Structure 1
Amino acid sequence: MMGLIMARANFNEVLEELAKKYVIYAPKKYEGEGTFSDTHRVRYGEIKCIEEIEFNEKSSFSYKEVLLPITQTLFFFTETEVKEASMNEQNLLIFLRSCDLHAVRRLDEIYLRNGFEDIYYKKFREKAKFVVMGCEKSFNNCFCVDMGTNTCDHYEAYIHLAEDQVAFDIKCEELLSDAKLKAMETTEVTPKFVTENPVHVEIPEKLDLRIIYSDMWEEYSERCIACGRCNFVCPTCTCFTMQDIFYQDNHKCGERRRVWASCQVNGYTDMAGGHKFRENKGQRMRFKVMHKIYDFKKRNGYHMCVGCGRCDDVCPEYISFSNCINKLGKAMDEVE
């Protein structure tokens, strides 16, 4: 472990060195690309200097779109052969929050340790290293403290910005060598993590599958509009669909793409013959909630939800996932 305190300009020199080996991604502010023309949006993009990194706002999309692209071509096909699509072979350095680094563990569980290895995810994942960004205060709708994801120590590096100084802590020897920092004067850097959220959640210990009979889900059939935005911004949602694209000049040739999908939208569970597993929106909400805080934990020992609050941020109907969790105790009393 190596701790450094340096000026912003000096850290840009570090980034310049790292950029020779890594494509560096971080939350970035995009002016004029928000909901309205005079607003901005924070999402992940390639950066070259520390001034481009957004430290003071939560990104509306998570790091996930770097490791798991929204649309990804898997292979090309003709009448006689199939050719796997080439992938970006560059190393990745990703700046993210503690909750998002915990979310990486969830993706690894699903894509690498779930009885098979997804080769497309694995290729990105093996080339990725992570720099955790310290959070001194909670953002709106976060409940990471109650989910136990507000702190972490399994990072390659840690960064904290204080006025014109950068605190940088490196655990990874490879990063240390790549950044050529060994000759610099070192100091102790203590990571700063948020310790309190205004939003609190309480997951009932007695929660079980009887909850499916509760009347609480009817509220979401009325309120939810099945837009799927909550799934797309979630750092731990992994559902996708497949699209076969046929070229116009030869309808026997084309490509297969993997595209993000949502368990909340109409048609996601449609099967041959017209059968649907979860027809109304309350049933879909029930499935999502139970997957995040019950099913996944039963299999893996920890919750899928990391408490980032992005689903609450983005919902056009102001449906709160944290409020839904807090209703489960009374719902269990109801079904009992």
Structure 2
Amino acid sequence: MGKKGFIFLPGGFNSVIEELSKKYRIYAPVLKEKEGRFTDTDVVRYDFVNEVADIELEKKSDYSFKEILTPLSQTLFFFTENDVKEANVDEREVLVFLRSCDLNALKRLDQIYLKNGREEDYFYARIRDKVKFVLMGCAHSYEDCFCVDMGTNRADDLDFSFSVDYVDNKFRCQLKDEALSSIFENNALKEDDVTPMFVTENETRVKLPGEVPLSIFTSDMWDEYTARCIGCGRCNYVCPTCTCYTMQDVYYTDNGKVGERRRVNASCMVDGYTNVAGGGEYRKKHGDRMRFKTMHKIYDFRKRFGYNMCVGCGRCDTVCPEYISFSNIINKVTAKVEEVQNEN
């Protein structure tokens, strides 16, 4: 049995978007023609939308929504010799369209920034508090997705304002946010019970390891990625749950005593990430970096918080220029764990 929902003709749902855009900055996946990795390829990434025609409803986004909450480069505050001024933040509310895997990724981001220690991350929280979400249903699995095995194919118990599915030239929406009732009622074709569409099986399958023995961390299985990985960091930047950043103090050329502090996204796969004073670097080999990332996504995070960090969106598999498959890595780790357990 579905929950309270509404059925819209395209024009009616477009009116909903137009009404919502008066209050919210609306972000959604948008098809960018001829803006992909090569001159003749397209890309789907997040951007502002003002009408339903702007939203890419069929294709999976190549990039996640996380730049809305954690910008690639974010000015935190400005400083002089004597004063510090916090950077302004756009006070308008935000509405973000995303799929189940990304809504599950939001849970991971909140865990890291809001529930990981005694204090919330202030600069994350001040943006997060202004954002609401729209769940985009998945009528089918996409290439490289393995969300079912990661348990992120559904989002029933997660927080979203309403869902949207495009079926037979009609939009089907389940409404959770009662504050939006009047907008929906005024533009709907009819009211009906609606259940968001969720994927129930993927072509790509993974088997997750349970306890991981220490020998896996020093296994020669990681040598393959020392040879194959080029350390470009693409996997980190498309991943919805990678949260690493670095700090930069930028001084102005006309006055070296005045500047700003920026939080800039970082990648555990690129050179320099583990550099320390004196020129040391803890993980020089690409295989060591792959081991670190993999264990964090499917083991270390789970040991601490009780669930896996990876949500199985498959974007890292899709974007890798060396065709390294993270789903294959997970299966290789599990096979190696079982091999060690059988030997013992």
Give the shorter-chain TM-score range.
over 0.9
Q: Write the distance in 2 (CA, Å) between the matches of 1:315 and 1:37.
A: 18
Cα shift at 1:206: 3.8
Q: Write the distance in 2 (CA, Å) between the matches of 1:11 and 1:78.
A: 49
**Of 276, 283, 289, which residue of structure 1 is paired with 2:288?**
283
Q: Write the distance in 2 (CA, Å) between the matches of 1:309 and 1:210.
A: 27
Per-residue displacement from partner, 1:275-295 (whole Å, max 9, x unpaired)?
A: 222121111100000000001
The equivalent residue for 1:311 is: 316
Most deviating of 84-93 and 207-216? 207-216
Q: Write the distance in 2 (CA, Å) between the matches of 1:176 and 1:110.
A: 33
Cα shift at 1:210: 2.7
Structure 2 unmatched runs, 5+: none
Cα shift at 1:132: 0.5
Give yes or no for the alignment of 1:204 onto 2:206.
Answer: no
The RMSD of aligned alpha carbons is: 1.4
**Of 126, 129, 134, which residue of structure 1 is paired with 2:132?**
129
Answer whether contact 1:33 1:40 (CA < 8 A) is retained.
yes
Answer whether contact 1:17 1:180 (CA < 8 A) is retained.
no
Q: Write the distance in 1 (CA, Å) between the matches of 2:187 and 2:56.
A: 29
The equivalent residue for 1:138 is: 141
- TM-score by length of structure 1 reads 0.96
Q: Write the distance in 2 (CA, Å) between the matches of 1:311 and 1:149.
A: 16
Q: Give the aligned residue type for 1:46.
A: F
Most deviating of 183-192 and 304-313? 183-192
Q: Write the distance in 2 (CA, Å) between the matches of 1:133 and 1:209.
A: 40
Give yes or no for the alignment of 1:8 onto 2:10.
Answer: yes
Give yes or no for the alignment of 1:190 onto 2:192.
Answer: no
Cα shift at 1:175: 2.8
Q: Write the distance in 2 (CA, Å) between the matches of 1:213 and 1:85.
A: 44
Per-residue displacement from partner, 1:143-171 (whole Å, max 9, x unpaired)?
A: 00000100111222100012421111111
Q: Write the distance in 2 (CA, Å) between the matches of 1:160 and 1:71.
A: 33
Q: Write the distance in 2 (CA, Å) between the matches of 1:204 and 1:75.
A: 43
**Of 38, 41, 44, which residue of structure 2 is paired with 1:39?**
41
**Of 165, 175, 178, which residue of structure 1 is paired with 2:180?**
175
Give yes or no for the alignment of 1:90 onto 2:92.
Answer: yes
Cα shift at 1:331: 2.1
The equivalent residue for 2:112 is: 110
Per-residue displacement from partner, 1:67-123 (whole Å, max 9, x unpaired)?
A: 111111111111221111001111011000000000000000000000121111101
Answer whether contact 2:6 2:184 (CA < 8 A) is retained.
no
Q: Give the aligned residue type for 2:84.
A: V
Give yes or no for the alignment of 1:270 onto 2:275.
Answer: yes
Q: Give the aligned residue type for 2:270.
A: V
Structure 1 unmatched runs, 5+: none
The equivalent residue for 2:306 is: 301
Per-residue displacement from partner, 1:247-297 (whole Å, max 9, x unpaired)?
A: 111111111111111001111011112222212111110000000000100
Q: Write the distance in 1 (CA, Å) between the matches of 2:313 and 2:109.
A: 15
Q: Write the distance in 1 (CA, Å) between the matches of 2:272 and 2:180.
A: 45
Q: Give the aligned residue type for 1:67.
A: L
Cα shift at 1:39: 1.9
The equivalent residue for 1:227 is: 232
- TM-score by length of structure 2 reads 0.94
Q: Secondary structure at the match of 2:164?
A: strand
Answer whether contact 1:101 1:132 (CA < 8 A) is retained.
yes
Per-residue displacement from partner, 1:151-207 (whole Å, max 9, x unpaired)?
A: 111222100012421111111112335x35368541111211111100000012242
Cα shift at 1:330: 3.1
Answer whether contact 2:134 2:164 (CA < 8 A) is retained.
yes
Q: Write the distance in 2 (CA, Å) between the matches of 1:57 and 1:331.
A: 35
Answer whether contact 1:144 1:197 (CA < 8 A) is retained.
yes
Cα shift at 1:65: 0.8
Taking only the aligned residue pairs, the percentage that are identical comes to 56
The equivalent residue for 2:55 is: 53
Answer whether contact 2:13 2:187 (CA < 8 A) is retained.
no
**Of 71, 74, 84, which residue of structure 2 is paired with 1:72?**
74
Answer whether contact 1:2 1:188 (CA < 8 A) is retained.
yes
Q: Give the aligned residue type for 1:232.
A: Y
Answer whether contact 2:8 2:187 (CA < 8 A) is retained.
no
**Of 259, 262, 275, which residue of structure 2 is paired with 1:257?**
262
Give yes or no for the alignment of 1:152 onto 2:168.
Answer: no
Q: Write the distance in 2 (CA, Å) between the matches of 1:236 and 1:327.
A: 22
